[in-house]
Amino acid sequence: MLSYVLRRLMHGVVSIIGASILIFVISRMSGDPIVLLLPVDAPQAAIDAMRETMGLDRPIWVQYLIFAGKALTGDFGNSYRWQMPALNLVLDRLPATIELAFAALLFSIALAVPLGVLSAVHRGGWIDTIGKGFAMLGQAMPGFWVGLLLILIFSVQLNWLPAFGSGGISHIILPAIALGWYPVAAQTRIIRSAMLDVLDSDYIRMGRALGAPERLLVWKYAFRNAAVPLVTVLGVYFASMLGGAFVVEVIFAWPGLGRTVVEAVFARDFPVVQAGVLFTSILFVVSNLLVDLSYGLIDPRIRHG
Amino acid sequence: MVDIDAAYAVISRSPSQRVMRRLFGSGIPWWSLLIFGLVVVAAIGGESIAPHDPNGLDLGAAFKPPSWLEGGSLDYLLGTDNLGRDIFSRIIAGARVTLTVAIYAIVISGGIGALIGMIAGYFGKTIDAIIMRLVDIQMSIPSLALALVIATVLSPSLTTVIVVISITYWTWYARIIRGEILSLKERDYVALAKVAGCSTPSIFARHLLPNILNTLLVLASLQVGQVIIFEASLSFLGLGIQSPDVSWGLMLADARNYITNAWWAITLPGVAIMLTCLSANLIGDWLRDTLDPKRRQL
Amino acid sequence: MTDAAIVPAFRPKPPLLKVENLKTYLYLNRGVVRAVDGVDLEVAEGETLGIVGESGSGKTMTSLSMLRLLPKPSGRIVEGSITLDGIDLVKLSEDEMVRDWRGRRISMVSQDPLTSLNPVFSIGDQVGAPFRYHHLAKGRGAVREAVEAVLARVRIPSPAKRIDDYPHQFSGGMRQRVVTAMAIACSPRLLIADEPTSALDVTIQVQMMELFRELQRDSGVGIIMITHDLGVAAGICHRVAVMYAGRVVESGDVREIFRNPAHPYTRGLLNSIPHLGRKRRRLEAIAGQPPSLIDPPRGCRFAARCPQKMARCDDYPPQFEVSTGHRAACWLAEPRP
């Protein structure tokens, strides 16, 4: 088990390093960031001086090493727009995004699990059909549009829930639904498929032959087995939600990392963009890692060897 | 032996199953083809078939509701936005952008992804390991986040969107095609071709490519929906298509500002996105089922 | 290959299980499959009945019918009765089957012990399950004790230590014992063993057979042993029923059938067993394939492959009494006037 954990950790670290290189390289492709920092008619000498101070005259791999070195100490540079260290800004906003992503995940599970399990148990029945139709629609609707519709219906027309900001359950409901909407379709399909496989297995048949009540078979014995592929998928979708969070945060003015990064993009605020996307990736890699490690908890076969 | 497990194939189907079959069928998805066909027509026709100029301002006609509601008129079939622009015309104009982006992005990302996947799968060992590690690394950055980084660097435009989407999605193709190649390269005809002295590019073109075309086609058709939504998201954020070009995502961004005045402006372009995606997905599903029945979902 | 020393002679007892004219059909897209088409069986207390036949003969479907575990929604018992301890199982509701019968009075062990056990639950949990379902032990302590007891009965070493282990930590033979423990936990009246040793080594097979014999001696449970292996049948069964294409073609005391097979199919099966020490140039397989069960022939279903086919065989033969307790559905067995 230990070697498994170590291997996955190494893999994760390499991914993060690689991601940071990728992000760095792309950022540097914009040409001259100096142009943004100095007034248009600045004299060449000033431009050269600034270039030297910022180390932009060195070869790119050296620049990366400087960047990486500074990053490890927590120095991502200062935000051009907000006049504060980029790292602080990012860390300040990160928890809100994590909170939103979790809420969205909870929502998607709360919808997908019952739909998936019941679709499998009553295969071909009306719930299966509705589930499939729902899934089809869900995958065709962009998350941000769902968010807009939710605002339209629940905030504008019905005035039940607030449309923006944070600060309490009522504020997180709509953004969580908008964000958690898209994966429901795929999650339902996976759960349904996993349950169908498991319900067809010999050990479930054995349980039936021993007189187990059907509900116990489905929810205790079958579901635990189906949970393994579900957990894989959860990790993947939590990650994709981190990406989708960017748009949802903008729509609902949610004070998270996503909204900050989007604003930074418009302002060409590289330090914040770099730090923000890097931390999003770190979050992504960490959540995948946790998912992999959780297999050991669910499936005893992995634990023992 | 009668396979007990095959006993799910029953003579009678439940009523709801029959309805679904009628609507969506296991045969050719006619409705989807129709809808997608309309989108294609709109894309090709563009402004010339739209009843109004998509960018024609007419403040006097602002906020007209859709024709079937009170206050609406057949002149503005789906109503107007805050600047009096006909929504129906704008939707038609947006179709061109949507499909252009989708086609270019899929062809480019699919082409690059498939090529890289073929190289990785065919040469194996170190090259494969390096390429797959690169894929992993890129995939550890959520796609929209990566798109934002790229968008910081490039100024927003149609080309930017295509570039961004292509860069984001090639990894997906690469992984899957690599898997296919790994199993294909063990086949005899590949070994024979090598022995016969066939050059590698020629092996790629003549032996490997034809066999992965099916998979590629299915992958591409399944991607259309995702690409459309991705483009809409980017344009919505303001990082994609810019005025005076029309994109459905951009329409939604505009409509957000006056959401209380014109609910149709924020609903209808989204419906266009949804219908296009839905039909593309269904066509993709059908293609997948036809070309590879093993993967059919029951 | 009979083992007369081990199996005691057949003695008539009141029937524990009586299956009469059982017909189980599968309603599939391509047609109605008559998997079990008029089967009669009897099992007495403490007796082991072997059901022998090739794949598709209907032997598994027969056992599933007894447990009322047919595939939904295509499988249906169309006709007949299955009487266990005087109660017709066909007439019971699903609730009654779950509560009082399955796992409690009638039980099953199937072929693959690896897949019969749920990999993510401990064997303690799984073996304890039937006790909980049928309320034979209340509370964790009582259930645990009962589980240890039954694990000891199936001869699993150090049951107390292994009760929290998982299936993958056991060997194949041990796993089959665990599955057997689950099946006999509530001391059922009838145990159906569907090819319980096909997936195991020959040496383990012998051990399992010994275990079944022992359990039967101690509790008087009736066993139905489904197998395609005549050797297994000979080693453990008191009586045997040979099935072909959904029907019983021959039945009787095991030694009698081996010595004096009346039906050409049975003869064919016996001829195809390799014999150690006997010189034979070729194994005689039975030529041909079983008929389709969607539209079975009206006459004898084995006729197409039968080396002794006659014109008579276009009519389905009734069961003729070859000798006491030995019956065969073949015109050749018709008593001469």
List of chain C residues whose C-beta atoms are within 8 Å of the C-beta of residue B1: 55-56
Tokens of C171: 């060997």
At residue A38, does pLDDT exceed 80?
no
Answer yes or no: do C182 and A221 touch at CB < 8 A. Answer: no
**Residue C191, pLDDT score:** 93
- Closest chain B CA to residue C30: B11
As for the ipTM of the complex, it is 0.81
- Predicted confidence at residue A227, as pLDDT, reads 81
Assign C6 a pLDDT band (cuts: 50, 70, 90): low
Q: Do C74 and B7 touch (CB under 8 A)?
A: yes
What is the SS3 string spanning B219-251?
A: HHHHHHHHHHHHHHHHHHHCCCCCCCCCCHHHH
Residues 19-58, chain B: which have Cβ within 8 Å of A? Answer: 19-20
Cβ contacts of B263 on chain A, cutoff 8 Å: 152, 156-157
How many Å lie between the alpha carbon of B13 and the closest alpha carbon of chain C? Answer: 10
A164 close to B (CB below 8 A): no
Kindly report, residue by residue over B169-182, the tens digit of the pLDDT: 898 888 888 888 88
Burial class (CB in 10 A: 0-12, 13-18, 19+), C62: buried
Higher pLDDT, A202 or C289: A202
**Is A23 at the interface with chain B, CB within 8 A?**
yes
B298 CA to chain C: closest CA distance, Å?
15
Closest residue by Cα to residue C236 from C216, C252, C219: C216
More confident residue, A146 or B9: A146
pLDDT (average), residues B165-170: 88
Average pLDDT, chain C: 85
Render pLDDT for B247-275 as a digit per residue (tens, 0 to 9).
898 889 888 888 888 888 888 899 999 99
Q: Between chains, do C182 and A206 touch, taking CB under 8 Å as contact?
A: yes
pLDDT the model gives residue B7: 43
pLDDT bin (cut points 50, 70, 90) of residue B296 is: very low
Residue pair C168/C118 in contact (Cβ under 8 Å)? The answer is no
* Angle, CA B175 vertex, CA B172 and CA B176 arms, to 5°: 90
Under an 8 A CB cutoff, do A19 and B140 touch? yes
- The residue in chain B having the minimum alpha-carbon distance to the alpha carbon of residue C34 is B2
Mean pLDDT value across chain A: 81
Summarised one tens digit per residue, pLDDT across range B121-154 is: 888 788 888 888 888 888 888 888 888 888 877 8
Q: For position C150, what pLDDT does the model report?
A: 92
A37, A92, B149 from C19: Cα distances, Å: 92, 75, 74
Could you tell me the pLDDT band of residue B6, with boundaries at 50, 70 and 90? very low
Residue A144: closest CA among chain B residues belongs to which residue?
Answer: B233
Please tell me the predicted confidence (pLDDT) of residue B276.
92
Which residue in chain C has the smallest CA separation from B6? C28
Q: Do A211 and C134 touch (CB under 8 A)?
A: yes
Sheet with C239-244, side-by-side order of all strands: C106-109, C190-194, C222-227, C48-52, C239-244, C247-253, C326-328, C320-323
Contact yes or no for C29 and B9 at CB 8 A: yes
- Is the Cβ of A284 closer than 8 Å to some Cβ of chain B? yes
Q: Which residues of A touch B255 (CB under 8 A)?
A: 148
pLDDT at A207 over 50: yes
Residue B13 has pLDDT above 60, yes or no: no
- Residue of chain A with shortest Cα separation from B226: A140
Inform me whether the C-beta atom of residue C116 falls under 8 Å from chain A C-beta atoms. yes
Touching check for A219 and chain C: CB below 8 Å? no
Provide, rounded to the nearest whole percent, the portion of chain B with pLDDT above 90. 7
Which of A14, A28, A65 has the alpha carbon at shortest distance from B149?
A28
For residues C240 and C49, is the Cβ–Cβ distance under 8 A?
yes
Q: Closest CB to A246: pick one of B16, B148, B150.
A: B148
Residue with tokens 């297999």: A295
Using 50, 70 and 90 to split pLDDT, how confident is the model at C223?
A: very high
Of A170, A182, A162, residue with least CA distance to A253: A162
Render pLDDT for C16-31 as a digit per residue (tens, 0 to 9): 899 999 999 988 888 8
Which residues on B lie below 8 Å from C73 (Cβ)?
10
A208 touches chain C (CB under 8 A): yes
What H or E segment, with its residue span, contains residue C251? strand C247-253
Q: Which pLDDT band holds residue C226 (cuts at 50, 70, 90)?
A: very high
What mean pLDDT is predicted for residues C144-172? 90
Q: How far is A234 from chain C (nearest CA, A)?
A: 19
How far is the C-alpha of C227 from the C-alpha of C230, rounded, in Å? 7
B275 and A CB contact within 8 Å: yes
Q: For residue C115, which residues of chain A lie inside 8 Å, CB to CB?
A: 201-203
pLDDT attached to residue A304: 64
Chains that touch C (3 or more CB pairs under 8 A): A, B
Structure tokens at B42: 């709109």
Residue A230 at interface with chain C, using a CB cutoff of 8 Å: no
Cβ atoms of residues B105 and B227 within 8 Å = yes
Tell me what pLDDT residue B12 has. 45
Answer with the residue of higher pLDDT: A268 or C83. C83
CB contact B11 to C (< 8 Å): yes
